[in-house]
Structure 1
């Protein structure tokens, strides 16, 4: 049984919930999407179509809370990679939608392309710490009218794990769903296992719902397809310069989005996902790597447990522009804090520079951190057998366990055996040229990318897709 870290008493959690209800009922939020305003109006909310202000009575929120469900499933092309929150926690997801990439050959930052997406998909498919590939970059080479296709096609073509991202318009979304149906073999087959997972940020803090992302949430919820949203208040900019104020505001925004989703389809699975941050007010710079991001994630996770829904979000990010000590401690501190608080989902893999840049070595390092998080979750595995009393008696004082069958049997499962972290003596390290963690991680990434990709589409399926979408990007790994 897990005992999670917590900040609040049950009474304090109730007060946070009540404060969020008061915000929704008395302050309300701007809802720019007309369909969403209609949904709220039918539910009994006070809607002003001229100002787009919507005020949500607390009873409406409480009624929607009654249809919350405790699980969320990420579906993969290959069923062996399906993951369920919270059962399979921690579920590790790559960071997503960075415009830039560190070129693994030149070490220079440049715009990312669809070929980069194919290579990253291959890498993530082979790194065991990652459970979901949230498409890590944009595609600067996307043909006109195929922005979303140029991301989802190379991702799905090269990764059998669940793939997750978003689309800028409904037209883009419909094209991506067509792609899914072709891969599945039919629309009916796709609807049985919708392996494209959708994610949006429809709430723009403070207290505003946008047009396009909200439209996509409505569209997918109506069709019963997997989708969830992330709440992103930024203390000092779009939220109060107070951790409690940012928590209450973000919680209200989560409840507003949840009310919309549950009003459309009661029982629709959701994730209480956040990227709550505190701006560095010395400069106004965005600071997702700050420890306050982890503290806020811990607090939101407590609220998620109160609502009995899965939790998580973008956590383990860094402001650093390279794989240095700052990158390591910002990622490590925040994901560990979130894990101990009970978070289920971690968008943490591969991004530097405040979500702006993907780096292959960072992804490999984060894979190692992910394996450590999974090992923490396993814990001590209490049992009489694991106490090893018979073995301790057999070896006795002054004995040695190295040559025992028990050691051989458990050596690969008891401890994480890292590929990046260096455990050799200094002499060996110097003989190898004194490589740092970045160099070792990049070498591991290159090793994977030089191998054949077992996840690649069969030629017949690929030809069918390319015929249906003329001019689509190649979508192939290229090293």
Structure 2
């Protein structure tokens, strides 16, 4: 598949050089002491008073030599393992929304661990999604169990790869302990680390934070899966030009990737972004804007230059409901990103600029995901598929409807949606159902046929003994 490019080879090289210039001459503020020490030992200029680190271009180029072209999302069930870029487009839910649209009342409310269990079950059953990035927070988490109260119901109810983050190293250690208990031991877990970690350690412009950077260092040292997302916002935390934002974000990616490769050469990475342009009429965040898609497309071209997988939070919406805005923001940006070579799409289920999960939106996004996968599969060119003999046989004015050839190819050639309607108006008027209503019918069908999921009793007992008072982690529908 050929990809759409915004830049010539010479322009890509210039963007790379400009990013190196930023790292070497402007530098970045590195607030994490461990990270400063790693950079210092590698020959970077480090000012401990200002915490400013300047990274020589040669060091970045040396670290580029250990980049690897693949990243694997490991699952509890090996049949769900996903490899970037081989399995592109890899579709992931949006994550960490504080709220949920209540499926019974339609009202916006704080999400709980039971909601996470429900969503995990839903994503496990929707073929368009490859990875469950835990969609919400858990308001009912006991004190000291914020993260395990999210990962436990997620891992209990979804056997696809599960991904999220943790606010502290203590939380991270708890989550890794949970993984080891489920796997049957620390060594077994390390062989198949089915918890996938993601952070935003670089705060634009050009600042590495303390806690997220700590987590990236910790996981990289242990050889466990982790990657970061770069999030410049043009007009606020990056220049108010597309290329200026691209150059700044690219420099931030290179800074983070240099840190990772200094810790463990050959550590897998994803060039992941959520680059946006602020709506300066109001100052509102605009992840659903077309410029988000354009920036993702440009970052993905840079990722191909570096030979690493790419993607990020693409296909989000600013809409608060499942309306036309919601559909076209998700559809336009994900299509552009796919055609530009993005591999990973965090796009599923969230409304209102990542603030609330909605079940119907998740099912609609599942259908969009399946369309993207069909688009990526493309048109299979072969002499057989030219169908010349068949066209000669049927001739002018004939029909292909009753042919065995049509029956043989109809299912694998065409994508048949479950949410979108193709009925004529008179038949549709009998129900006058909306896409949102049809999507929620699918949600209900999935839960009507779902059984409560559990871990083996021995494992669950160990988990609950290790984390007294832990949430139940069960679906409540």
User: Which TM bucket (shorter chain)?
Assistant: over 0.9
Alignment correspondent of 2:172: 173
Q: Is the 8 A contact 2:453 2:474 kept in 1?
A: no
Alignment correspondent of 1:379: 378
Q: Is the 8 A contact 1:350 1:366 kept in 2?
A: yes
Alignment correspondent of 2:401: 402
CA distance in 1, matches of 2:21, 2:465: 54
Counterparts of residues 48-447 of structure 1 (less than 5 Å): 48-432=47-431, 434-447=432-445
Deviation readout 1:129-162 (Å, 9 max, x if unpaired): 0000000000000000000001000000000100
Query: Normalization by structure 2: what TM-score?
Result: 0.98
Q: Is the 8 A contact 1:125 1:455 kept in 2?
A: no
Alignment correspondent of 1:45: 44
Alignment correspondent of 1:16: 15
CA distance in 2, matches of 1:220, 1:204: 19
Q: Is the 8 A contact 2:231 2:249 kept in 1?
A: yes
1:456, distance to aligned residue in structure 2 (A): 4.3
Q: Tell me, what secondary structure is at the counterpart of 2:145?
A: coil
Say yes or no: does 1:466 pair with 2:464.
yes
CA distance in 2, matches of 1:44, 1:294: 37
CA distance in 1, matches of 2:385, 2:141: 54
Q: Tell me, what secondary structure is at the counterpart of 1:281?
A: coil
Q: Tell me, what secondary structure is at the counterpart of 2:353?
A: coil
1:460, distance to aligned residue in structure 2 (A): 3.8
Q: Is the 8 A contact 2:452 2:475 kept in 1?
A: no
CA distance in 2, matches of 1:446, 1:213: 38
CA distance in 1, matches of 2:407, 2:201: 52
CA distance in 2, matches of 1:77, 1:121: 13
Q: Is the 8 A contact 2:92 2:132 kept in 1?
A: yes
Q: Tell me, what secondary structure is at the counterpart of 2:412?
A: coil
CA distance in 2, matches of 1:198, 1:51: 30
Q: Which sections of structure 2, spanning at least 5 residues, go unmatched?
A: none
CA distance in 2, matches of 1:450, 1:167: 33
| Number of aligned residues | 477
Alignment correspondent of 1:451: 449
Q: Tell me, what secondary structure is at the counterpart of 2:444?
A: helix
Deviation readout 1:181-221 (Å, 9 max, x if unpaired): 11111111111110000000000000000000000000000
Q: Which sections of structure 1, spanning at least 5 residues, go unmatched?
A: none
Q: Tell me, what secondary structure is at the counterpart of 2:305?
A: helix
CA distance in 2, matches of 1:453, 1:272: 38
CA distance in 1, matches of 2:271, 2:216: 15
CA distance in 1, matches of 2:405, 2:117: 42
CA distance in 2, matches of 1:39, 1:82: 32
CA distance in 2, matches of 1:407, 1:114: 48
CA distance in 2, matches of 1:394, 1:179: 64
